[in-house]
């Protein structure tokens, strides 16, 4: 059994252990990989987190709940949680991915954790998956302070533009630099109506988009 122990860490003992094995198999390893389970897990995660937030914050409007959920289910949070579970040590990778540091790559870790949630759902239904997600996310949800949760740069920029009846910006990856497991992405955020093309960089596409949005907002508002 790999170091990742689902019964201990997720509170779930698999009736069909082959589902866990598939969830922890990257496409570089073989044809029976985890992408379909990731697809299921993504939906289950969104639903479970939405329910948890709905119950915990009965007074919050839909927009605020959606914003908090987006912060909880993004790849950065999933990667951080996967690292706390030592998930990378259990993922089956092809030789190339293994040599290039795939076991610590944020996208692989995040996708594998979603696949595990999908595997639990198929193994024992929504309640089992919801329980596992609740245990893994307990610390994240417990420390949420809606009043102190700042809007991320992309949301702030989009709302500023929409308030002025301008189209939402376009984001384009223009470069990816560095080793495969330590890549830096360059993204351009374009707002044609304002003749703005701001660039941002980060260790993931999402992080680079956020940096570009922050730069674009600064140009647009002079902030």
As a whole number of angstroms, the distance between CA 92 and CA 23 comes to 9
3-state secondary structure of 61: coil
Q: Are 151 and 160 in contact (CB under 8 A)?
A: no
Q: Please state at what angle helix 106-124 crosses helix 35-56, rounded to 10 degrees.
A: 80
Task: Say which of 38, 97, 114, 130 is annotated catalytic.
Answer: 114
Query: How remote is the C-alpha of 96 from its chain's centroid?
Result: 24
Convert 174-211 to b/e letters by CB count within 10 Å (16 or more is b). eeeeeeeeebebbbbbbbeeeebbbebebebbbbbbbb
Residue 42 appears among annotated catalytic residues: yes
As a whole number of angstroms, the distance between CA 160 and CA 166 comes to 9
Task: Say which of 42, 111, 152, 209 is annotated catalytic.
Answer: 42
Maximum Cα interatomic distance, the chain, rounded to a whole number of Å: 58
* 3-state helix vs strand vs coil in the chain, percent to 5: 65, 10, 25
Residue 140 appears among annotated catalytic residues: no
Q: Are 125 and 44 in contact (CB under 8 A)?
A: no
Q: Which residues are catalytic?
A: 42, 114
């Amino acid at each position: 059994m790999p170091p990742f122990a689902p019964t201990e860490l997720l509170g779930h003992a698999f009736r069909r252990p082959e589902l866990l094995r598939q969830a922890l198999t990257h496409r570089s390893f073989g044809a029976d990989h985890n992408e379909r389970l990731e697809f299921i897990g993504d939906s289950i995660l969104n639903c479970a987190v939405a329910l948890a937030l709905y119950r915990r914050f009965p007074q919050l409007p839909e927009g605020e709940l959606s914003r908090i959920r987006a912060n909880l289910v993004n790849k950065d949070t999933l990667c951080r949680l996967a690292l706390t579970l030592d998930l990378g040590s259990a993922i089956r990778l092809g030789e190339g991915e293994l040599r290039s540091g795939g076991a610590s790559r944020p996208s692989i870790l995040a996708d594998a954790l979603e696949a595990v949630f999908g595997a639990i759902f198929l193994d024992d239904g929504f309640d089992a998956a919801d329980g596992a997600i609740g245990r893994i996310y307990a610390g994240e949800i417990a420390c949420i302070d809606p009043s102190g949760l700042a809007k991320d740069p992309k949301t702030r920029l989009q709302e500023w533009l929409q308030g002025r009846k301008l189209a939402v910006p376009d984001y384009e990856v223009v470069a990816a630099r560095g080793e495969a497991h330590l890549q830096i992405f360059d993204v351009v955020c374009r707002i044609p109506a304002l003749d703005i093309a701001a660039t941002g960089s980060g260790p993931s596409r999402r992080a680079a988009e956020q940096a570009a949005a922050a730069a674009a907002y600064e140009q647009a508002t002079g902030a």
